[in-house]
Structure 1
Amino acid sequence: MDEHAKVLLISVAAQLAGMHPQTLRQYDRMGLVEPGRSAGGGRRYSLRDVELLREIQRLSQEEGVSLAGVKRIIDLERMVLELRERLEHAHQQLVYAERRLAQLETISAFPRTDLLPSTRTSTALVVWRPRSAEG
């Protein structure tokens, strides 16, 4: 089963998390967990949501973090995950661009020597065109 699939009824999710269903409703209202909704409006939870509920319980009961603090921690962890994904995507684009540039330089008649270490101090390109016989 996909850990992100929102298929668990609130009673099942509450039992798996070791909580009362009313606690899950409260956490939903606070934005600590975001269950899916069935066509009839009933809450549906994923296995990932159950893990998150257990972490909320651990932070609040074992670590003594307030629910407002738990929400802040969860929001920051989500932000870090999103930024990591964006950074990885940007890195992949950069690697692709570097490879593509290298490919283009190998087939180009005029490679980009300014991107490579050079022993010369300057490079000049001289274009010559013969004069026409008339002028």
Structure 2
Amino acid sequence: MPERGRYMISVAADLAGLHPQTLRMYETRGLVRPARTPGGTRLYSEHDVDRLRLIQRLTSELGLNLAGVEHVLRLEDELRRLQARMRQLERQLRDEIQMTHKQYRREVVVYERPKPPAPRS
């Protein structure tokens, strides 16, 4: 479930250390996707603000251009999707292993070696 937007553009810009126009440009480029109110006001979530801070760090501290930022963000998004998929597959595998172990318990029969016949006298 996506996080709800809570910050208007001016607050989100202040939190990220950016100009509101920069946030609009980032949205146009698809780097961030804030929620919208029915009236069209942008609402940025904590995740959006964190993403804006990451973009700011990638461009100012590491010197990436926006094409590089897009690539990094795309890779991070893909990594998150793959990690979620891996957790889902691990849960499925654990469930299947548990089911298999339960079946073993029902199917396992203790074998008792037959007693040798009594000697004839």
Q: What range describes the TM-score normalised by the shorter chain of this pair?
A: 0.7 to 0.9
Tell me the percent identity: 42
Q: Structure 2: how far apart are the matches of 1:50 and 1:63? A: 19
Number of aligned residue pairs = 108
Query: Could you tell me which amino acid in structure 1 is paired with residue 92 of structure 2?
Result: Q
1:40-80 deviation digits (Å, cap 9, x = unpaired) = 01111011111111110110111010101101100110100
Which residue of structure 1 lines up, in the alignment, with residue 64 of structure 2? 65
Q: Report matched runs for 1:1-135 at 5 Å.
A: 4-108=3-107
Q: Structure 2: how far apart are the matches of 1:76 and 1:32? A: 12
Q: Structure 2: how far apart are the matches of 1:84 and 1:93? A: 14
TM-score (norm 1): 0.76
Q: Structure 1: how far apart are the matches of 2:15 and 2:58? A: 17
Q: Secondary structure at the match of 1:32?
A: coil
Q: Structure 2: how far apart are the matches of 1:62 and 1:109? A: 63
Q: Secondary structure at the match of 1:8?
A: coil
TM-score (norm 2): 0.84
